Amino acid sequence: MKKEMTKVRKFLAVITALVLLLFTTACGNGTPTDSSTSIISTSESSSQSSRPEGSTTVAEASRSTTSSRTRTTASTTSATTTAPRLDKVWYTEGDVRITKSEADAIVAQNYVKPKNVIVMIGDGMGPNDIALAENYSEDRFDFGLALNRFINTGYAKTHSADNDVTDSAASGTALATGVKTNNTVVGMSTDAKPLKNIAEIAREQGKKIGIVTNDTMTGATPSAFLVHCMSRHNTEVLANSFIDFAPEVLIGQQYSSFVKKLTDQSCGKIQNTYMLATTIPMMSIALNGDLTEEKPLLGFFSADLLGDTSNTLAQCTEIALNRLDNEQGFFLMVESAGTDKAGDTNNIAAKMNSVVTLDRAVAVVLKYMKSHPDTLLIVTSDHDNGAVQMPANGEKPTDELFTTDTHTAQDVRVFALGYGAECFRDKTVDNTDIGKFAISAVKGELK
Q: Which residues bind Zn ion (CB under 5 A)?
A: 123, 168, 340, 382
Closest distance to Zn ion from the beta carbon of 342 (Å):
12
Closest distance to Zn ion from the beta carbon of 405 (Å):
14
First and final C-alpha spacing in the chain: 51
Closest distance to Zn ion from the beta carbon of 125 (Å):
9
Whichever of 178 and 219 has its CB closer to Zn ion, that residue is 219
Instruction: Output helix, strand, coil percentages for the chain, rounded to the nearest 5.
Output: 45, 15, 40
Cβ density class 208-219: b for 16+ within 10 Å, e for less: bbbbbbbbbbbb
Nearest to 210 by CA among 303, 335, 368: 335
Closest distance to Zn ion from the beta carbon of 366 (Å):
24
Non-local (6+) Cβ contacts of 27 within 8 A are 259, 262, 264, 267, 268, 270, 271
Closest distance to Zn ion from the beta carbon of 359 (Å):
18
Nearest to 312 by CA among 300, 296, 324, 325: 300
Cα 149 from Cα 416, distance rounded (Å): 11
Whichever of 123 and 359 has its CB closer to Zn ion, that residue is 123
SS3 state of residue 418: coil
Complete edge-to-edge strand list for the sheet that includes strand 249-253: 275-277, 297-301, 249-253, 208-216, 330-336, 116-122, 375-381, 412-417, 152-157, 428-430
Whichever of 168 and 310 has its CB closer to Zn ion, that residue is 168
Whichever of 87 and 340 has its CB closer to Zn ion, that residue is 340
Closest distance to Zn ion from the beta carbon of 382 (Å):
4
Cα 126 from Cα 116, distance rounded (Å): 27
Closest distance to Zn ion from the beta carbon of 85 (Å):
33
Closest distance to Zn ion from the beta carbon of 355 (Å):
14
Please state, as a whole number, how many other Cβ atoms lie within 10 Å of the Cβ of residue 151.
13
Whichever of 52 and 178 has its CB closer to Zn ion, that residue is 178
Closest distance to Zn ion from the beta carbon of 299 (Å):
22
Cα 246 from Cα 224, distance rounded (Å): 15
Whichever of 166 and 440 has its CB closer to Zn ion, that residue is 166
CB contact at 8 A, 416 and 433 = no
Whichever of 263 and 345 has its CB closer to Zn ion, that residue is 345
Cβ density class 403-412: b for 16+ within 10 Å, e for less: eeeebbebbb
Closest distance to Zn ion from the beta carbon of 195 (Å):
18
| Alpha helical stretches, state H, 156-297 | 168-177, 198-204, 220-224, 235-245, 255-260, 264-273, 280-288
Beta-strand pair 249-253/275-277:
unpaired
Whichever of 286 and 362 has its CB closer to Zn ion, that residue is 362
Residue nearest to Zn ion (CB): 168
Cα 226 from Cα 281, distance rounded (Å): 26
Whichever of 134 and 340 has its CB closer to Zn ion, that residue is 340
Whichever of 57 and 160 has its CB closer to Zn ion, that residue is 160
